[in-house]
């Protein structure tokens, strides 16, 4: 399998495309927005430049990686030869169901369809296709080129053969795959999101400020990044959507999103990608923000 289509060129999609391309897969990067594709390729280029500067890869590796990526705004054209599709579009259930119906129509019969969803049921996504045994969760972590884990989620109908293929591909990417069953939040977010939500609740209740909460968790618990900073990196809209899926899925109030998180998402304060979340990422404040984060 040499051709991998990646749907969505946002935070995760460009990282997934980068990772496959660096391991010599031919990547078809597909997004409905040309601006997202341009931004995604610019991000990949910048990240590769950083790797060259650190002498982790050579200039030739960088060029080879970029040459392995082709961009498309038309899904049907992009997936024509794909052996594997990794969907990393916006976290919205109706959108994903529609994308998987389209993928099922446009992809060859033997194409494995994987979703990078953080929380939406793989079983539900699979049921939108005529090949549920070939649908699987391939949950990469952010930033994808650096983070080792891939949570591989088996839906109710996912075949062992599909699992084995995706496990092998994950290993070829230099990642460590972990097998997980399909329940809301899987493992990573079921544990991480309540912690992030509690950090936001702590801020909302006025117990401590942003930097203070993050410092407690960094220096007290040896976390490499505070939970509020991590939420900014993940995207506050993504955090809210994952909490809502767990709240609905388990019918348990412990997953209810903090009203402050809901308000920030409604106000468009989504974290790094929108330029502001718990920290300010605007150009004029970037240096100050970075200094605070590493304080
Ligand atoms: N952000 C994280 O840290 C993180 C971590 C693990 C998994 N995820 C999951 O990865 C997925 C993507 O998240 P993200 O943070 O990269 O989102 P994002 O908002 O950064 O990017 C989403 C991209 O999808 C594109 N898109 C929307 N509809 C599309 C369609 N019909 N076809 C093609 N492209 C389309 C958008 O234009 C955008 O570029 C979500 O399912 C999310 O839950 C996110």
Reply yes or no on whether the pLDDT at 287 is more than 90.
Answer: no
pLDDT at 1 (0 to 100): 79
Share of the chain above pLDDT 70, in %: 97
Residues 6+ apart with CB under 8 A from 190: 183, 184, 246
pLDDT at 111 (0 to 100): 98
Which positions are annotated as active-site residues? 118, 139, 151, 189
Across 130-141, b (16+ Cβ under 10 Å) vs e yields ebbebbbbbbbb
Q: Let me know whether 57 and 175 are in one domain.
A: yes
Reply yes or no on whether the pLDDT at 14 is more than 90.
Answer: yes
220 CA to centre of ligand 1 in angstroms = 32
Q: Let me know whether 236 and 217 are in one domain.
A: yes
Instruction: Compute the distance between CA of residue 157 and CA of residue 123 in angstroms, rounded to an integer.
Output: 7
pLDDT at 283 (0 to 100): 76
pLDDT at 291 (0 to 100): 66
- pLDDT tens digits, 80-100: 999 999 999 998 899 999 999
Q: Let me know whether 114 and 151 are in one domain.
A: yes
Count up the domains in the chain and report the number. Answer: 2
* Contact of 32 with 95, CB cutoff 8 Å: no
Q: Let me know whether 169 and 229 are in one domain.
A: no
Q: Let me know whether 238 and 108 are in one domain.
A: no
Average pLDDT over residues 145-174: 98
Range(s) of the domain holding residue 270 = 189-290
User: What number of other Cβ atoms are within 10 A of residue 104's Cβ?
Assistant: 19
pLDDT at 285 (0 to 100): 72
Instruction: Name the residue with higher pLDDT: 164 or 288.
Output: 164
Question: Is the minimum distance from the CB of 30 to ligand 1 under 6 angstroms?
Answer: yes
């Amino acid at each position: 399998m040499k051709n991998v289509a990646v749907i969505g060129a946002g935070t995760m999609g460009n990282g997934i495309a980068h990772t496959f391309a660096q391991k010599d897969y031919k990547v078809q990067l597909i997004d409905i927005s040309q601006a997202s594709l341009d931004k995604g390729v610019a991000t990949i280029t910048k990240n590769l430049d950083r790797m060259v500067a650190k002498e982790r890869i050579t200039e030739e590796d960088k060029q080879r990686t970029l040459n392995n990526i082709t961009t498309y705004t038309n899904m049907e054209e992009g997936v024509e030869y794909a052996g594997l599709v990794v969907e990393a579009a916006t976290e919205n259930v109706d959108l994903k169901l529609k994308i998987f119906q389209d993928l099922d129509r446009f992809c060859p019969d033997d194409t494995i369809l994987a979703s990078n969803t953080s929380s939406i049921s793989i079983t539900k996504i699979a049921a939108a296709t005529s090949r549920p045994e070939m649908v699987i969760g391939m949950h990469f972590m952010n930033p994808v080129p650096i983070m080792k884990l891939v949570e591989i989620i088996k839906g109710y109908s996912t075949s062992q053969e599909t699992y084995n293929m995706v496990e092998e591909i994950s290993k070829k990417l230099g990642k460590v795959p972990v097998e997980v069953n399909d329940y809301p939040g899987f493992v990573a977010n079921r544990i991480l999101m309540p912690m992030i939500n509690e950090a936001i609740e702590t801020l909302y209740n006025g117990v401590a400020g942003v930097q203070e909460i993050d410092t407690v968790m960094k220096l007290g618990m040896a976390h490499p990044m505070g939970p509020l900073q991590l939420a900014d990196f993940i995207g506050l809209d993504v955090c809210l959507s994952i909490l809502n899926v767990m709240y609905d899925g388990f019918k348990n109030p412990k997953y209810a999103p903090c009203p402050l998180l809901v308000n920030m998402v409604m106000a468009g304060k989504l974290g790094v990608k929108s330029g502001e979340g718990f920290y300010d990422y605007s150009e004029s404040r970037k240096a100050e923000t970075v200094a605070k984060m590493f304080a």
